[in-house]
Structure 1
Amino acid sequence: MANSTRSRRPTPGRPRARPSRRRRPAPRVLRRRRVIVGVVGILLAGLVVLAIVPLAGLVSAWNAETRRQAIDLTTFDPGTLISDADFYDLNALSAGEIQDFLDAQVGECRNDSCLAVLRTTLPPRGPIVSDATGETVCEGYDGGELTAAEIIDRIQRACGISAKVLLVTLQKEQSLVAGRTARAPEPRELGAAMGARCPDDAACDTGAEGFAAQVAQGATDLKSYSASDFMRQPGTHYIAYSPDAACGGSDVTITNEATAALYNYTPYQPNAAALAARWGTGDGCSAYGNRNFALYWALWFG
């Protein structure tokens, strides 16, 4: 028999040996390209990150302006400016929530009087009880060196006037919450913060000037109208359009105590020109206090 040649089979369980292959190093040009691509990628990523912050700011500003322009005053009801439940809500916002709101609305402070960073002394005060009705107008509270947010919160809880109402009043009276004035208030603006006992043509009453005193006095006045059964109460009343009697006014059926309090605090209603102008200027007979209260309430809390 002729000898036959058989191919050798691999041993079961052992892998067939393969010749090793050496990886050739990448050419220098290719390596340089990889480095360049990597660096460019890092730079582009950095540019994207840097663009996000200003873009977010622009989007936020655009959203705010969109909300402003969307507010419709064609259904404005002078007889119901706000509900009693919203007005007399002593737990409307916590001190932390008020601080967050101020940070967001004020933006970058340009002096230390800005409400987002202000710290000032609130003197302690005992309970205030109405002589006329015996009702408690405001509970007593402890004083101390506090932030603006802490002062607003403390007065809110003592007097039972919503922090949201106090914030809107600070804005409508002296623009202390949003806008250019809010970022750098002057002493006179901070001193008459709530417009409480501070006539337009004279100095504030003794003891009423200063941020803490203003918040305390303003909230006390807003609460006293109902607690003391004082001045206008719900019902039909003649409300003028302006301090100028020649501008006239109309009868308004005030539906609740909160609306009565706002008219006692700011005794004019917006005329047709003020309502049509919305955020702008009406005519010579336009008054803006209660219109602006309605606008900012709708913008921030409506």
Structure 2
Amino acid sequence: MIQLQRVKLSWLRRVGYTLIVVGVVGLGIVFWPKTGALSPWSPGRIIDDNVFYDTNTFSSVQDIQNFINSHTPACDTWGTGPSEYGGGTRAQYAAKRGWHGPPYACLRDYHENPSTKETSFERGGGWFAGGLSVANIIWNVSKEFGINPQVMLVTLKKEQGSLFTDVWPLKSQYKYAMGFACPDSGPGNTANCSSEYAGMYNQLRMAARQFRLYTNRPGEYRYKAGRSNYIQYNTNAACGGSWVYIENQATANLYNYTPYQPNQGALNAYPGTAHCGAYGNRNFWRFFNEWFGSPLNSIRIESPLSVRTEGTGSKLFTDMTITASFTIRNATNQRRDLGTMAIAARDSKWNNYDFGSQRVILEPWQTYTYRVTTKLTKEENYKFWITNYRDGSGWSNNYPESAPGHSREVSTFVQTAPTVTSPVTIQNQRTHVGQSTRIRFTVKNNSPKPVDLGYFGAAITSPSGRNADASFDTVNSLAPGATYTYDREFIPRESGIYKARISGTLDKGTTWTEAQYPVPTPASAGNRAQFTILPNPTLTQGITFSNPSPRAGEPVTTTFKI
């Protein structure tokens, strides 16, 4: 859908006479100040789906209006400014050229009544009762058809860029402003626009509708996502083309709307032209970058969904605090309202155990981590996944898009947790340094299925803060209802107060349970204990006799000190 548009001489002169060729205008060339070489791009992935269909990129009609105001010049509504080409004022110059007179309605001021087709050109150059602004039209059609208003603005710039620069545009510049219903079937492959869809309102609404039709009926259109498509470099088939694997539907939409890709010459020449070049999709990609940042993964989940407990990692148990989290990054230079983010949770019977929802608004380049906690009380198979709700889009399990390799869902079994049914005890409460004793506690499996206790035991800290752990056990399968008694030798090496706790790991040391698993009970005293080790007695004076040479039968007193 490419535009063929008459433009007044002031625009042509700003571009440069030597570049004005009707066939080239049909390809959607828009000339802008050179800003450097074209950034790398992939013809099979121009814009991501989650960007193309994001209707929440602006918060209101006024937000869109503010954007248009900041990207368009002040308007010479009555043509009173001096003509750039001599001959008095702009209005006087227009009269000499045979163009219509004022008012001239700039993009920021243009209004149109969709029912009567009256525009600002007939109603004083700006607002009038019953008229909708361009911002209002874009807002309405974006919501109606689920298309990002940024896409609509960039397409407008791609197809009729003069509206963003002209201070006294003619009405004809709005006639086919989105290039809708303008196939390249005219003489010399020029645009052949249908008057049935003329007018700014028609152009904006029908373009948004067409993008939605491409999406809803992909099999009916030439370029399709998920397969290789031959795409020409130019309207002239003799210029050639190449096979392009189109990665996603949004990119297929762009090719169905503007069915050409830039050749290497066109990429190298940005923002200029090249032999056999086409520029519509090149310019769309570049303009989007300049205005809104990258159209690729602009809002992206940059970590896999994590569902774990502090003590047992990814192995989940009932009545333990489960934390679910993931990280989102806004890789644009715009503030983005993502709506409501949540983590849904369902058991095998599809009962709802959703985690708390959070409204997420990200500033430019901001990274945000969603983190919520819950407890599950029932042993079951559960599925957890990232979900989102946005006004106009409803619930989606695919937005924001996840970075490659990052899973959006977790399926796992939540088991009834084993418990510690007796406290950590030392066999001999009057143990001395170097004396062997035993450390004991008992664990019970409360689940109807075997449970993994992992690698666990009594972690002990000496009075001086050194590690004095007893040896650990590995129990990977404790039968349903069974108990297991941990019983290990302990030989203290110093006197004083020792602190012991039940510790272990279910994931080879990535996460340590630290008194949280097996689950403590009132009988286990929090899975912690402390005990005192006595110093060994010391001989301070050797054995002495009261009579060093006693006779047989004489009493002798023997003494020593400890």
Aligned residue for 1:259? 251
Larger Rg: 2
Report the Cα offset of residue 88 of structure 1: 0.8
Aligned residue for 2:52? 87
- Equivalent residues of 1:173, 1:289 under 8 A apart: yes
Q: Output the amino acid matched with 1:146.
A: L
Aligned residue for 1:127? none
3-state SS of paired residue (2:71): helix
Aligned residue for 2:68? 102
Aligned residue for 1:173? 159
Q: Output the amino acid matched with 1:256.
A: N
Point out the more displaced range, 109-118 or 256-265: 109-118
Report the Cα offset of residue 158 of structure 1: 0.3
- Equivalent residues of 1:122, 1:151 under 8 A apart: no
Q: Output the amino acid matched with 1:251.
A: W
Q: Output the amino acid matched with 2:178.
A: M
Q: Output the amino acid matched with 1:294.
A: W
List per-residue Cα deviations over 1:226-257 (Å, max 9, x = no partner): 11223122021000000111100000010100
3-state SS of paired residue (2:45): coil
3-state SS of paired residue (2:243): strand
3-state SS of paired residue (1:236): strand
List per-residue Cα deviations over 1:11-43 (Å, max 9, x = no partner): xxxxxxxxxxxxxxxxxxxxxxxxxxxxxxxxx
Provide the rounded CA distance (Å) in 1 between the counterparts of 2:162 and 2:47: 21
Aligned residue for 1:152? 138
3-state SS of paired residue (1:298): helix
Point out the more displaced range, 88-97 or 256-265: 88-97
Structure showing the higher helix proportion among its residues: 1
List per-residue Cα deviations over 1:99-136 (Å, max 9, x = no partner): 01111111112344211001111249xxxxxxxxxxxx
- Equivalent residues of 2:163, 2:173 under 8 A apart: no
Aligned 1:31-180 pairs, distance under 5 A: 69-70=35-36, 72-73=38-39, 75-93=40-58, 94-111=60-77, 112-123=104-115, 144-180=130-166
Provide the rounded CA distance (Å) in 2 between the counterparts of 1:176 and 1:91: 27
More relative contact order, 1 or 2 (CA 8 Å, 6+ apart): 1
Provide the rounded CA distance (Å) in 2 between the counterparts of 1:224 and 1:117: 30
* 2:201 corresponds to 1:212: yes
Question: TM-score, length-normalised on structure 2?
Answer: 0.36
Provide the rounded CA distance (Å) in 2 between the counterparts of 1:205 and 1:278: 30
Cα distance change of structure 1 residues 276 and 254 upon mapping to structure 2, 3 Å threshold: same
Aligned residue for 1:191? 175
* 2:262 corresponds to 1:270: yes
- Equivalent residues of 2:183, 2:193 under 8 A apart: yes
Question: TM-score, length-normalised on structure 1?
Answer: 0.66
- Equivalent residues of 1:193, 1:211 under 8 A apart: yes
Report the Cα offset of residue 225 of structure 1: 0.7
Structure 1 unaligned residues grouped into runs of 5+: 1-63, 125-143
3-state SS of paired residue (1:238): strand
The RMSD of aligned alpha carbons is: 2.0
3-state SS of paired residue (1:77): coil
Provide the rounded CA distance (Å) in 2 between the counterparts of 1:296 and 1:102: 14
Point out the more displaced range, 92-101 or 151-160: 92-101
Report the Cα offset of residue 266 of structure 1: 0.2
What percent identity do the matched residue pairs reach?
Answer: 39
Structure 2 unaligned residues grouped into runs of 5+: 1-31, 78-103, 117-129, 294-562
Report the Cα offset of residue 71 of structure 1: 6.0
